[in-house]
Amino acid sequence: MQIDLNDKLMADEEGNEHIPIVDELVAKLPEVNGRPYLSCFVLTHPDLDHCRGFSDLLDRVDIGEIWHTPRIFREYEDTYKLSEDAQAFRAEAHRRADRSIEAGGDPGSGNRVRIIGYASELFEPGERYFGFPEHDFYTRPGNSIYMLDGVDVSGRFEAFIHAPFKASLADARNETSLAMQIAIGSGTGMRGLFLGDLSYPSVMQVFDETHRHGNEDKLQWNVLLAPHHCSKKVMYENNVLQQDVLDEFAASQLSPGYIVSSSNEFKGRNESGDNPPHRVARNRYEEIVNDGFVCTGEVSTPEEVRPIIFSSTAWGIELGGDGYVMSESAENTLLAAIAAAEGTDTPPATKVGFGCE
């Protein structure tokens, strides 16, 4: 399963330390019928920094199933507001939904699509997705998913859906993110909490709703992906610390516990208006984390390009990544991009940052 994609190999970034993700997936995914195969791709929301490279991935890899929230259908009807990769994802989601309707049920691997969230109006008579197989491929928050591309993986995999919510807080741009807990392995295994780009009010709603239904175990985490690339908006409102959300994160932490910032390296301090990552958010997370705070843009350097790897083993959960060997094709792509970036004084032609707008 691949959750979001941000293939940040851009020729206008000197000293790029980012792995060419699509090249790496093509090289290392298992093959089925002579093609790289990915069982499931999950899009938490269609901002560019969550789907950059999807069009390339779709061309080069067979994806059994895709998951998305209703936002990709409901909004951005003027496609110029979507990046090209987000448009490619939406077109593929539409195609798969059409195939599902035509099949009147499961359309098979390569055509499966799961809609996650509150979207009942999409399936009403006269609407585009009337006839979509809701029973099999429509999941509301508060429920678990145990199927990956038609295979029952219960006992070794569970995705519990926390959000997006039906209305109110979910009206804002980032508050429509798919939020979920992923549990891997039998027994205690390893649990990860993925909250997309949610901010403080929506994160607290996740905790409140889950407590209300007595599902505290669905909040537990060994690995927490810091929401919105370690944004301070997760625990600050109007520059006032909201201690309750930090208390909730701490109470649901398992042992071992790690917090990951999927972001560029941190500045010593942020200026007003800076995009994430925010140093003040990192400081708060480091006060509560049991075993370590790690940042993708700091673990991976131009001298040693590598991912952060968590493994669930017979000896427990291990943090690794040292000694990781990139595929030859990905390494060649990276070297070519670095050479191109260092060989020109032309200012970057594309905006470097988070999001589409």
Cα–Cα distance between 54 and 312 in angstroms, integer? Answer: 28
Which ranges of the chain have pLDDT less than 70? 9-17, 72-80, 167-174, 341-357
Give per-residue pLDDT as tens, 11-43: 344 455 677 899 999 999 999 999 999 999 999
Secondary structure (H, E, C), 184-248: ECCCCCEEEEECCCCCHHHHHHHHHHHHHCCCHHHHCEEEEECHHHHCHHHCEECCEECHHHHHH
Name the burial class of residue 221, with classes exposed (0-12), middle (13-18) and buried (19+) by CB atoms within 10 angstroms of its CB. Answer: buried
CATH code of the region 2-342? 3.60.15
Structure confidence by residue, pLDDT tens digits, 297-343: 999 887 788 899 999 888 889 999 888 888 898 888 888 777 776 66
Give the start-to-end residue ranges of the domains of the chain: 2-342
Burial (CB count <10 Å: 0-12, 13-18, 19+), residue 222 = buried
Residue where the block lists tokens 């991009």:
337
Neighbours of 80 (CB within 10 A): 7
Residue count of the chain: 357
User: What's the pTM value of the predicted model, to 2 decimals?
Assistant: 0.90
